[in-house]
Amino acid sequence: NAGVTQTPKFQVLKTGQSMTLQCAQDMNHNSMYWYRQDPGMGLRLIYYSASEGTTDKGEVPNGYNVSRLNKREFSLRLESAAPSQTSVYFCASSEANKGDEKLFFGSGTQLSVL
């Protein structure tokens, strides 16, 4: 039972480089999310996708783009990485059909931007 799978687990970038974080879930969930977690701060929502074909901004979307490739996959792209984007990134999914957000998280991607 894989659940939510994120790749890569670790990544180091130089300022200005681009990269895409991949996320896939095998629970047939409609909704998917990208969060970032920084030391001394709570998890913050970057983008979410309520269903296949839709995406919306969360609390901290600047500097990121997302793609909901299909029901299973939701990717996060950094077009021009900045040191402020050094963080741990978590992908999550939920059924979201009862209105409550019981989220299932992946194991995270630790990203360092130098």
Q: Residues interacting with other proteins, by CB under 8 A?
A: 4, 31, 33, 40-45, 48, 50, 56, 58-59, 90, 92, 94, 96, 99-108
In this structure, which amino acid lies at residue 5?
A: T
DSSP string of 29-80, one letter each residue:
-SEEEEEEE-TTS--EEEEEESSTT--EE-S--TTEEEEE-SSSBEEEEESS
CB of 97 to other proteins, least distance (A): 11
The 10 Å Cβ neighbour count of residue 39 is 6
CB of 70 to other proteins, least distance (A): 19
Query: For residues 19 and 50, which CB has a smaller minimum distance to other proteins in the complex?
Result: 50
Query: For residues 85 and 94, which CB has a smaller minimum distance to other proteins in the complex?
Result: 94
CB of 31 to other proteins, least distance (A): 6
Query: For residues 17 and 30, which CB has a smaller minimum distance to other proteins in the complex?
Result: 30
DSSP string of 24-37, one letter each residue:
EESS--SEEEEEEE
